[in-house]
């Protein structure tokens, strides 16, 4: 009995020492990582995180990044549980595209400042969908001006670029408000309106902008996925929708790379051709059914 009690007390002392040394925080950290990874696979969160990574990579003319704060603002409104993961993915995407010594602290500062303003507005109960674009404009412009002031670049060009980036972030916020609920499963199974389809196309084209510079061998990934996007919408909506998606996709891709300007007409024409192929398949099926009906009395 004395020996058994000795071993029990010894094990208890060892456990206490391990907890004091730091094994308990490690255990809590492992549980937190496991819970974070499990929540990542919940409904729609993984898609939102992947989209945020490529939106973090996306830039306009190599110096304007209005996608990150606009996307984060809408996610914070519609899917607040995924906001931290989205913030991390946006910053990681920007670092992956521009390097560690880029201005990623500016992007992080925008996201953190907007989160503080969001909490303040929510606490005072003045937060609605109408105030989110205005808050995004103020945050983006203020952080951009502060960055220019710190580096001593208060020229007219930098001020103009700050206003342009804030305006684009505001417009993108209003667009994402219409399209993000499709991925957060908050609107239910409903038929998309015309404006929702256009906003969804702009969102997907903005995500494709993040594929700029990624290649598989000698094949550009942005060319592959842009064709698949046009094919998907043309199969669903027909030649008109396919051509419209091609034009919108080409215009947005040309904002990130001027070499994509020549692809606008090509993408629109490919959207029309894809619907014609579907129509031809329907003609063949109709002709086969007509022949079957014609020979049916002789059978």
Together in a domain, 142 and 45: yes
Together in a domain, 162 and 233: no
Q: In what helix (H) or strand (E) does residue 215 lie, and over which residues does it extend?
A: strand 215-216
Together in a domain, 263 and 119: no
pLDDT tens digits, one per residue of 217-271: 788 888 888 888 888 887 777 777 778 888 888 888 887 777 666 777 777 777 7
Q: In this predicted structure, what is the pLDDT of residue 26?
A: 52
Together in a domain, 118 and 215: no
Q: What is the mean pLDDT of the chain?
A: 75
Which of the 8 DSSP states describes residue 191?
P
Which of 132, 156, 188 delimits the end of a domain?
Answer: 188
pLDDT tens digits, one per residue of 100-152: 888 888 889 899 999 999 888 888 877 778 888 899 999 999 998 888 888 88
In a domain, 294, yes or no: yes
Dist. CA 19–CA 27, nearest whole Å: 10
Helices (H), the chain: 2-21, 23-40, 45-57, 67-78, 83-98, 104-123, 131-150, 156-184, 194-209, 221-237, 239-256, 263-295
Q: In this predicted structure, what is the pLDDT of residue 17?
A: 42
pLDDT tens digits, one per residue of 28-56: 544 544 454 455 556 568 888 888 999 98
In a domain, 249, yes or no: yes
Q: In this predicted structure, what is the pLDDT of residue 211?
A: 85
In a domain, 19, yes or no: no
In a domain, 3, yes or no: no
- Name residue, tokens 């946006």: 90
Chain centroid to CA 112: how far? 18
Together in a domain, 164 and 251: no
Together in a domain, 74 and 177: yes
Residue 257, domain extent = 211-299
Which of the 8 DSSP states describes residue 60?
B
Together in a domain, 178 and 226: no
In a domain, 13, yes or no: no
Q: Domains in the chain: how many in total? A: 2
Q: Report strand pairing: 219-220 vs 215-216.
A: antiparallel
Together in a domain, 36 and 135: yes
Is residue 98 packed enough to be buried (19+ CB in 10 Å), middle (13-18) or exposed (0-12)?
middle
């Amino acid at each position: 009995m004395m020996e058994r009690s000795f071993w029990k007390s010894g094990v208890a002392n060892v456990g206490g020492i391990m907890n004091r040394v730091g094994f308990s925080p490690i255990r809590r950290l492992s549980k937190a990582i496991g819970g974070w990874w499990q929540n990542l696979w919940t409904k729609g969160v993984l898609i939102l995180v992947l989209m945020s990574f490529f939106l973090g990579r996306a830039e306009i003319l190599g110096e304007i990044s209005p996608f990150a704060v606009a996307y984060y603002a809408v996610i914070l409104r519609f899917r607040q549980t995924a906001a931290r993961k989205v913030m991390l993915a946006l910053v990681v995407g920007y670092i992956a595209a521009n390097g560690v010594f880029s201005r990623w602290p500016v992007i992080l500062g925008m996201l953190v400042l907007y989160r503080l303003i969001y909490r303040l507005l929510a606490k005072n109960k003045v937060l609605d969908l109408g105030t989110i674009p205005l808050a995004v404009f103020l945050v983006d412009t203020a952080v951009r001006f502060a960055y220019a002031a710190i580096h001593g670049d208060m020229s007219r060009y930098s001020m103009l670029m700050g206003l342009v980036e804030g305006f684009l972030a505001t417009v993108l916020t209003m667009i994402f408000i219409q399209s993000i609920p499709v991925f957060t499963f908050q609107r239910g199974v409903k038929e998309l309106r015309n404006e929702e389809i256009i906003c969804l196309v702009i969102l997907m084209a903005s995500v494709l902008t993040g594929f700029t510079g990624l290649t598989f061998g000698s094949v550009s990934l942005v060319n592959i996925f842009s064709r698949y996007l046009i094919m998907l919408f043309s199969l669903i909506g027909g030649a008109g929708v396919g051509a419209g998606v091609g034009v919108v996709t080409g215009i947005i891709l040309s904002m990130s790379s001027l070499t994509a300007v020549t692809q606008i007409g090509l993408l629109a024409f490919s959207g029309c051709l894809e619907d014609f192929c579907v129509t031809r398949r329907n003609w063949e099926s109709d002709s086969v059914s007509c022949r079957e009906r014609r020979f049916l009395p002789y059978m």
